[in-house]
Amino acid sequence: MKNFKYIVVILFIVLSAFKLSAQNIIQPEKKSYEDSTGLLYWNKDVPVYLHLSSTPDGQGNLLKSKIHAKYTNPFYFDTEGINYMRTRYAVDTATRKTVNPHIEILWEVYADGKTPVSKVHFKGAKKYSIGNKTYYGKGLHVTISSTDAGSGIENIYYSVNSSRYQKYEHEITPDPNNAVCQLKYYATDKVGNFEDVNKNEVEFFIDEEAPETFHNITNIDLERSIIALNTKIYLNASDAKSGLKTTYYKFDTGPYIQYNGNILPLIQLTEDNHTLSYYSVDKVGNKETPKIFQFFLDKSAPILTSGVLGDRFIVNDKIYFSGRTKLKLTAVDNKSGVKEVKYALDGSEFKKYDQPFYLPKKPGFHIVKYYAVDRMNNNTGVGGSNYKKYKYSTKKIYVDLVGPSLNHSFIGKRFYTRDTVFLGKKSKIKLTASDAESGLQYISYSIDGQQKENMYKEPFSVSGNGNHIIEYFGYDNVNNRNIGRFYVIVDENPPEPAYTFSVKPYKTENGLNVFPSYVMVYLSGVDQMTGTEQIFYSVNGSIEKLYTTPITGFKKGENTLKFKTVDKLGNEKYDEVSFIIE
């Protein structure tokens, strides 16, 4: 066996220097690279020479090819990615014999001739593009990411606005003072391939300036900042960079509203001090600090109110007065003062108001119109504008001159004779009333001339035998009153019951009278007012019967007869008698 010598293929890199004409670009060296796993990467533009050595660190002998001398020393890898150096068959290092089955020995080399690919990313800020311009707002951070299909990324470089290229190590925060930002960037891989800088260039604009907004006003008291409903307020806004997106405004503590370019509405505001706040936002989100304009809105001149002296009632938007009611008008003005108040009734001419007045003494609806004028000739009414004369307030008032209609009825037993009505102790009086105008308010009543009126809630009884006078009163909702009156006689006493035997007893036994079997009993009742209407009886606990004829047929021995008398009002009284039949 020949003395064994380790044969090591040593690859030497012959570096070719190169220069780029671009501005101070950091030029990488084209080279080879072995990664942590032992993979060898070789730049495809770097020449390759093969040396054989019997020791790991020996210089060895340069391999020469007689067959392909033209393409060796140096030669170049033709295939991107993995390439192989190989022997025909593998030899066992111990026996020095060919390994069976035959296999090739392969030495892997990865040819890398592709440049990295880089991308730029923008984050943290709003973006707006128009035409070939792109704007970014506040908070912009720029990152660059690169990928490489072969040996991997070694470095990334960038330049801002033609500055010297520097290594990219963290996010880029562009200077907002630069109106235009030109960013150039490229990446290098671990074997010296790098990107075409001219293809990796992006231009963008930084906009961190907020828009500016102003208000324009016509018809204003500049000294006191007083405006009226006919004042016109406009907002004008501009933005020098990305452009205006939206303008917002609000009054007082209300929500901000998007401005549509028209006159700001004032009609919804009260007559008071107000604050107009407004601001604008540009297309990359820069927001202007809100501006304010404080003013007093004079919507109407005098404040005119109507008051009621006397009775009134309001229901379902209807106003009712009585004939005793006066209408009072009061005007005040917190600025120039009241000049005059005028009113008109039922379409008549307006006349000056001096004091409270009655409405016409005619039942039904009446129309009252009234207005006030201040010393600046602003008149009170709907809108209250000083350029529309004689706007007035209107009231439609119903004058109710008549009280409710009254009626009464009776519940329970009653008895009539001629024009007199008799009531029992259980009889009740029912009072009713109705009012077709302002409506019934309540009913009250008094008995026998008492001063205090009792509030009527439900049918009531009258106690005490004899004659009684009932007065009752109906009040409507404007306190018109009608009076009703009637008389009743109250009968609370029942008829006095009585009995009579058809024969006299012929003896007594144990304190009871003794009668023959053919005896008959007669029943009767005496009533001082309405008279006896019915008599009922029961013999020895039998069912009660209506008495119509003399009672006979008593049993032999002791008997008990119970009976009651009832008058025409239901007053009743019981009696009984016990006796013996032989």
* 442-465 residue pLDDT tens: 999 999 999 999 999 999 999 999
**Are 518 and 567 in a shared domain?**
yes
Mean pLDDT of 15-40: 72
Q: What's the alpha-carbon Rg for the chain, to the nearest Å?
A: 61
**Are 395 and 428 in a shared domain?**
no
Q: What is the pLDDT of residues 324-333, one digit of tens each?
A: 888 898 888 7
Residue 11 pLDDT: 32
The CA distances from residue 324 to 86, 306, 319, 478, 480, in Å, are 129, 17, 14, 9, 9
Which of 376-385, 404-413, 463-472, 535-544 is predicted with the least confidence, judged by mean pLDDT?
Answer: 376-385
**Are 178 and 244 in a shared domain?**
no
Sign, Cα dihedral of 348, 350, 352, 354? positive
**Are 484 and 500 in a shared domain?**
no
Mean pLDDT of 369-385: 63
Type of residue at 301: A
Q: What is the pLDDT of residues 475-520, one digit of tens each?
A: 999 999 999 999 999 998 999 999 999 999 999 999 999 999 999 9
**Are 323 and 293 in a shared domain?**
no
The CA distances from residue 264 to 215, 273, 275, 355, 440, in Å, are 10, 16, 13, 42, 51
| DSSP state, residue 51 | E
**End of a domain among 280, 298, 316?**
298
Contacts of 389 (CB under 8 A, 6+ apart): 377, 379
Q: Quick one: what percent of the chain has pLDDT higher than 70?
A: 92
Distance CA 113, CA 110 (A): 10
At CA 479, angle to CA 474 and CA 485, rounded to 5?
25
The DSSP bridge pattern shows strands 226-238 and 291-298 to be parallel
Q: Quick one: what percent of the chain has pLDDT higher than 90?
A: 63
| Domain enclosing residue 169, as ranges | 117-206
**Are 271 and 190 in a shared domain?**
no
Name residue 106's beta-bridge partners. Answer: 86
HSE toward the beta carbon, residue 175, CA cutoff 13 A:
8
Above 80 in pLDDT, residue 413? Answer: yes
437 falls within a domain:
yes
Type of residue at 61: N
Distance CA 388, CA 377 (A): 10
Nearest to 448 by CA among 433, 427, 428, 462: 462
Model confidence at 6, pLDDT cuts 50, 70, 90, reads very low
134 falls within a domain:
yes
Model confidence at 385, pLDDT cuts 50, 70, 90, reads very low
Distance CA 259, CA 213 (A): 12
**End of a domain among 351, 375, 400?**
400
199 falls within a domain:
yes
Above 70 in pLDDT, residue 23? Answer: no
104 falls within a domain:
no
Contacts of 44 (CB under 8 A, 6+ apart): 76, 77, 80, 111, 112, 113
Above 50 in pLDDT, residue 300? Answer: yes
Q: In this structure, what token pair is assigned to residue 335?
A: 């600025």
Mean pLDDT of 519-539: 92
Give me the DSSP letters along 293-353: EEEEEE--SSEEEEEEES-EEEETTEEEEETT-EEEEEEE-SSS-EEEEEEEETT---EE-
10 falls within a domain:
no
Q: What is the pLDDT of residues 189-201, one digit of tens each?
A: 999 999 998 889 9
Contacts of 381 (CB under 8 A, 6+ apart): 300, 371, 390, 391, 392, 393
**End of a domain among 185, 206, 227?**
206
Q: In this structure, what token pair is assigned to residue 228?
A: 């009226």
The answer to whether 525 and 532 are in contact (CB under 8 A) is yes
107 falls within a domain:
no
Residue 442 pLDDT: 95
Residue 410 pLDDT: 93
**Are 396 and 437 in a shared domain?**
no
Indicate the number of domains in the chain: 5
Model confidence at 391, pLDDT cuts 50, 70, 90, reads low
218 falls within a domain:
yes
SS3 69: helix
234 falls within a domain:
yes
**Are 310 and 337 in a shared domain?**
yes
CATH code of residue 331: 2.60.40.10
Nearest to 108 by CA among 202, 39, 24, 20: 39
